Chain A
Amino acid sequence: MSIDIQSKPTETPSKDKKWVGSKLNRLEDKRLIRGKGNYMEDLKPLPNIHHAAILRSPHGHARIKKIDYTKAIDIPGVRSVLVGDDIRDWVKPFPVVADNPGKYFPMAIDKVRYVGEPVAVVIAENQYVAEDALDLINVEYEALSATVNIEEAISEEAPLLHEEEGTNVAIQRNTKFGNVDEAFEEADTVVKERVVFNRFTCMPLETYGVIGHWDSSNHAANIWCNFQGPFSMHAVMAKALGVVPNKLRIMVPSDVGGGFGIKITIYPYSCLITLASRKAGVPVKWIEDRRENLIGSSSGTDRVTYMEMAAKKDGTITGVRYKIMDSVGAYIRPPEPGTIFRPYGNYSGPYKFRNVELDLTAVMTNKVPTGPNRGYSCGQLYHALERTVDKLAHTLNIDPVDLRRKNILEPSQFPYTTPTGGYYDVGDYPAVLNKLLKSADYKQLLKKQEEMRKQGRHVGIGISLAVDPAASNMGYMDVGTPKDHSNKERPKSGSSEAATITIDYGGGITVTLNTAPQGQGHETVAAQIVADQFGCSPYDILVTTGSDTGTRAWTIASGAYSSRFSGTAANAILMACEGLIVKMKKVASHLMECSTENLDVIDGKVVHKEDAQLSMSLKKLAGIIHWNPTILPDEISNGLTHTSYFSLDSVKPVDENGRVNSSGLYSFAVDLALVEIDKKTFELNILKYYMAHDIGKSLNPQIVEGQLYGGMLHGLANTLYEEMVYDKNGQILTGTLMDYTCPTSAESIDLEIDHLETPSTLTPLGARGTGEVATMTVPAALTNAVNDALKPYNVVINDLPITPSKLFSILKEAEK
């Protein structure tokens, strides 16, 4: 029995059906199911690669008095040891948008500020020997008191992480939109809520990997790493390493074992390993181990939010005040403090209210520096917003669904500009909500809940809404630019991507991207798009992903993050196809002696519109262009390669009122959960989980479903299972997978998913983002459902993760 999966798609589009939108099995799978992937650890791109092991701080906060590595360097096989003193003259701090950021270098120089901070790097002939040497490095520390709690770290008494700054608050911004104070003064009801979001990490199965090669003859750095973009970090790295941009080459292999945001913040390690190469004079490879990953990579921020919501008696929300405090860890590492700014344009979510106050603070604590984590700061945002909406519903004794229906944007309001600058192009949010309510049979569900409650069961229904931002605006960070620094001279904007397509002499099509995907199926979707344009099979198309800034077309925004492929790269690919088609039509019109306007591309052929007999295959045309260019008219250039750049026009710089459309595209999602708290064990059983989305055009429904399930798992993980726990000295208590417990197949849940496709008006293919949305809705829906279950007992739980142990304490307290 043999099935060639390449020739057996789940669905075969017919003539009038396109590959785009079909459930095409993935092209990537062919190598991955055979164990022939090409991951960072598999690479040996240069001879004489040495291996690095990193000595890390055992202290949450300490001064480095002395480092003695004489014994380590004596071990046979050890080539060199890099310490903080070595890099003083080689690097500049990473540039940051913040008022009091402290100085962040690739490794500790005078002080360590979190457990796991790199203190020394051993470079040896293999990993085993490198780790032997770590054991022989003697570091003398003077331990200092640490601060790990957000609200304590802000206080005057807190130990300072960066003494020169005089505060642990890296950045604080307070901005009002509309007439917030008036809205609160005139409100019939004001509800207040404090919610706490836990610190958890992406935990991709593949850890960080870097091969750094310092080219001393050119003062250049060649770096292979499993970076996921954005390539704006290229600028951050070039500045830190003191190289001009064209002398920093970043290469990402075709296969990256998951990212979910964490591989954005690999770049300090990319720099560190390159500095190790500079010291050792050989290329250096470092594969992070799982312990390092859990203590020293990155995580999402833990956040405390104080919410205030003003409303009329009838439930109309009139204003919202957010007081957000994020713990960004020991350093503020770009793209942080993006955590407080990334959803700038959608702080009002899917709702109509126009009066918003944002009080946003990023606080430094003795924990690992944070960074994007699937849904970057939106899980936090909607957890707080949707909890407060539920509290308002509870206070006014209005059904939570009815309250939301009253406040969500109407289709007639689109295109809609939010009070903070977000631009929602088109949508029918009530229709999506209705779709969900219908699938869930909401009224019946309420009755069922009532019956179960009568049986004494702790049953709850929770709903959450989210506007999911995708394709981040490269300019959103400018809202954080210090007020005395005018950013008018160099405003930033855009969310762009590049694609190059080449057709070879045999008609073979190669797509070259710089999108550095980590499993999102870019090769497949690119092939679907191209196949539709040229009328060929997607399986005949070669798509090269990963990245190479030295040889490929790329943009500052390139990469696979913020759910951006379907709204950016997909369009660049489409445009590159169009560019080639224009050229091929020109050649055909010359050869066929007709006007290009009379030509169409159908089924791999250029065909005359009025005479189908008159046609030329693309293969033949490509052959002529490559083999016989002299017959082409002068105005047609040689070759068949086209590079296109696409940027979303709607993502402009910050405006004069401090508003910004922080993302290019916004999907809409509604989740509903039915849960039960076990009365004996206090475990949470998720009985039913419904989702409805409008993600615009779905380019590959199978991949979309995979993304929704994957996002759900991250949401489930942070809501119920995962937390990075630190003690008061900054010791991390979850440094292995034995302590940091990830949900397995046994904990995962089934979803009932509905879609409403309203194509985006901003992208030629009509697609928006989908990869992160479930991480935004799941924590809020589950927390609301649990609190609905707790409602008869008049208690609430607003801090994640919601564990059986916490539910036990709360309900026992309620019994008293």
Chain B
Amino acid sequence: MMKAKFWRQGEPYVWATGMALALVLFLTITLLSVVIANGAAIFWPQPVALAELTDGSRVLGEISQQQKRPQSEEQRYQFKTGNREMYSLDFRWVDASAIKRLSHPARVTVLERLENGNFYGYLREIRAPQLNLPAATGDTALAQALTAIAPQQAEIEQLNDTIAELNYRLEQVQNKLAGLRHQRGADPARLEALAAEERTLKGRFDELATRLADQRSALNQHEAVFIDASGTEKVIALADIVRAYQPNTMGVWQKSGYYLTRLRELFTEDPRESNTEGGLFPAIFGTIMLVFLMSIVSFPIGVVAGVYLREYAKEGVLVKMVRIAVNNLAGIPSIVYGIFGLGFFVYGIGSSIDQLFFAERLPNPTFGTGGILWASLTLGLLTVPVVIVATEEALGAIPPGIREGSQALAATKFQTLTKLLLPMASPGILTGFILAMARAAGEVAPLMITGVVKLAPALPLDGHFPYLHLDRKFMHLGFHIYDIGFQSPNVEASKPMVYVTTLLLILIVLLMTSTAIYLRNKMRKHYAVVDV
């Protein structure tokens, strides 16, 4: 009796539905907490430990992991020892039993360098007579020296910019020249003038390049001498030091300041050391721009196609087949879209564009190679079915009385569509758009063959006419994760960056979709139909 009632009321099914939801929530939360736990604390300065080993040697570094040795109860520690050029490895496992004494010496300095990763050691002296530094010792002296070389570094930076600008102009002139030579019967006077300009620019370029080399070598004469844990001396050029800090003496405020500095670097700087250090700015920029371009492509096409299917096409076998095809398109593996993009956009359309408009640059391709335009078109193609289906469903959900009411008031079908149906369907259309955007931001496979690179020399948007360079290759956070996580020679050192990049990608997707959700909710409130 009781049992029959139990089953009839469907109690177990209610539990099953609840459990399914709980499982999904659990997995999501686990994923997010792993990423956040590993990604959020990376820029927080860790104490540096000095381990004196039983064999008399010393190990200096951050303790990055501790675990039990396989098949034994013994603890072991993983030290991030840095000093890659000296020990050839950044990380080293040390058994707990081998450690005689573990301490945190106050004077340890950590250097972030342009090359070879971190350096852990003690400052001995600064060799920079030309800087006329005030007499000071230790870390103060190092900080003063680093400040003192800043103007020189800024000068070099400026020189670099000038050279890049010159380079760009030279390229323009050379392109023009190539174009003229490509045409038969070009004006020889103009050809001569351009050639002369090219020579002038080249001369200036060489001059600046020499000056840059001189300045660089002058800058590199400023050095600092450090000793590592085992007492070996190491001379490091001041210009190589990105940042120096003493984690064992820093307070919470100093650490917070350091954290914010690193965070700013992450958002605004270019990557260093084959992407394992430095910032992510080009990748963030590339990701957002890619999604933006993708939206411009996929949103209008999807909405218009959906409107046609629902409002204008006569229901029949053909429309049914189109609908099935559209639904199936959404299920095709993204790499297939990538291959299609490569074959159709890059080799097909891109090569034709090159032959028609950029013939003088051939065999160097302009559009006939992967670029942000082709990647976003490919992603647009990939997401268009989602937008079509959402548009169709949103239009279908509008009560038929609205259409009749409007047309009975002498509105044409088109007026009904633009004045009533599309605004009313907009929340549903936006929902599809959110899904499309989230999918596009997370796709990597199709990008890998249509234009993403691990290091792009220039952003697709800059100050040079025509400002938007759709032919350029770009960086992308999703590809960045793959690249530094699995293609990097130094996996252990790049691990933190993988987490940070993942966290950032999730945050960007979250930001973009929440903006769209906010818009949708506003519209939903505005166009809600009360059904009494």
Tell me whether A and B are bound partners.
no
Question: Chain B interface (Cβ within 8 Å of chain A)?
Answer: none
Q: Which A residues are closer than 8 A to B by beta carbons?
A: none
